[in-house]
């Protein structure tokens, strides 16, 4: 099968950072689906895994390592223990970071982290959703424990730091349209600010400016929840200042320095992490929740409550286009999701 992989961990401007290759078609295990991949999306996790680091500077991957943790496609074959899907089903999923990724013609993936594709979407539109939808849903409803409707009065509020990115684009919609929260999003350019408003943000502030001052000038002394999707080290102090007593902060971005959580003590405020690969990585007893979660996302899409966040589609799925997508993400200029379609 055709695949795009890496043999060495290199800067994205190196033509060898991602290469076209041929690999054997994988065989599904007992709970696995073999999926013919039709479209994939690119996420910051792809760039972070690929990026050169001191720990992998001399490492050689043989066979090439395949990245990619967002896909939509068609089930070709099922394992002996599969009960949720059958050949011919159209599916979407983020996958498992401990296994080979989706940047290949065929991929094996555990059925418990796969959902039936929204009927109203194309493959490229569906591929934009899984990783970010799972991350945003788990952050809001599993980690921050945002209550489901009917909503408490007065309506609670949330600050989404990094609103125009992949996770932010779906988090705005879930927070506003599903949870009924008042949404404050951050964006730094007119185009990204308008994107956030179009998705349901009530207020947009500049994350390069004084976050606390901007939010309070708009009439929010505190916010009930904060979701950090960009630079935990930079934004935690403002989040700690703004979060309400007994509120909560969730981040999806790793820190590079020790975090000072002392300001949260007097507020009895929570600080939690969200990592969407946790359930698959540790094979948690509730791993199948991601199947149900994706099914609910598909229902909300088909009902018109949520919309896909794809902003750009590149064709075909090959090394050159993946390098272009990685470069755009690393430059911090992406709005929504970049998708690649067709081999």
Sign of CA dihedral 210, 216, 221, 225: negative
217-242 pLDDT, tens digit per residue, is 999 999 999 999 999 999 999 999 99
CA 64, CA 332: separation in Å to the nearest integer? Answer: 27
pLDDT tier at 178, thresholds 50, 70, 90: very high
Main-chain phi, psi angles of 174, to 5 degrees: -65, -40
Give tens-digit pLDDT for 184-228: 999 989 999 999 999 999 999 998 899 999 999 999 999 999 999
What percentage of the chain carries pLDDT values higher than 70?
Answer: 98
pTM score, whole prediction: 0.94
Percent of the chain topping pLDDT 90: 92
Name the pLDDT band for 150 (thresholds 50, 70, 90): low
Domains and CATH numbers, the chain: 2-129+278-341 (3.90.180.10), 133-273 (3.40.50.720)
Query: What DSSP letter does each residue of 252-273 carry, written as one string?
Result: -S--SS----GGGTTTT-EEEE
Q: What is the dihedral of CA 42, 274, 106, 104, to 10 degrees?
A: 30
Residue 70 has pLDDT above 90, yes or no: yes
Instruction: Evaluate if residue 152 carries a pLDDT over 60.
Output: no
* Residue where the block lists tokens 């009917």: 150
Where is pLDDT greater, at 43 or 151?
A: 43
Residue 184 pairs in a beta bridge with: 159, 203
Contacts of 59 (CB under 8 A, 6+ apart): 8, 9
Q: Which residues pair with 288 in a beta bridge?
A: none
95-139 pLDDT tens trace = 999 999 999 999 999 999 999 999 999 999 999 999 999 999 999
243: preceding bond cis by omega (within 30 degrees):
no
**The pLDDT of residue 49 is above 60:** yes
């Amino acid at each position: 099968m055709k695949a795009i992989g890496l043999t060495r961990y290199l800067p994205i401007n190196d033509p060898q950072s991602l290469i076209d290759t041929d690999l054997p078609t994988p065989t599904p295990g007992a709970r696995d689906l073999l999926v013919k991949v039709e479209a994939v999306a690119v996420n910051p996790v792809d760039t972070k895994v690929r990026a050169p680091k001191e720990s992998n500077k001399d490492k050689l991957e043989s066979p090439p390592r395949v990245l990619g943790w967002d896909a939509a496609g068609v089930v070709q074959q099922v394992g002996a223990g599969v009960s949720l899907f059958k050949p011919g089903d159209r599916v979407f999923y983020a996958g498992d970071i401990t296994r080979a990724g989706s940047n290949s013609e065929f991929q094996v993936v555990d059925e418990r982290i796969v959902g039936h594709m929204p009927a109203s979407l194309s493959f490229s539109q569906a591929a934009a959703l899984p990783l970010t939808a799972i991350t945003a849903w788990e952050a809001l409803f599993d980690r921050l424990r945002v209550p489901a409707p009917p909503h408490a009065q007065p309506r609670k509020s949330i600050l989404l730091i990094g609103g125009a990115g992949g996770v932010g684009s779906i988090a705005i919609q879930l927070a506003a349209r599903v949870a009924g929260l008042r949404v404050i999003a951050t964006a730094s350019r007119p185009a990204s600010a308008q994107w956030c408003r179009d998705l349901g943000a009530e207020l947009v502030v500049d994350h390069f400016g004084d976050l606390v001052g901007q939010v309070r000038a708009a009439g929010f002394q505190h916010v009930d929840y904060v979701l950090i999707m960009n630079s935990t080290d930079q934004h935690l102090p403002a989040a700690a200042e703004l979060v309400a007593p007994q509120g909560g902060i969730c981040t999806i971005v790793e820190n590079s320095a020790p975090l000072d959580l002392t300001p949260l003590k007097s507020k009895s405020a929570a600080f939690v992490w969200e990592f969407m690969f946790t359930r698959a990585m540790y094979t948690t007893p509730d791993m199948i929740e991601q199947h149900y979660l994706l099914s609910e996302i598909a229902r909300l899409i088909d009902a018109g409550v949520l919309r896909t966040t794809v902003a750009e589609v590149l064709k075909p799925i090959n090394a050159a286009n993946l390098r272009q997508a990685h470069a755009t993400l690393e430059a911090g200029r992406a709005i929504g999701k970049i998708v690649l379609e067709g081999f």
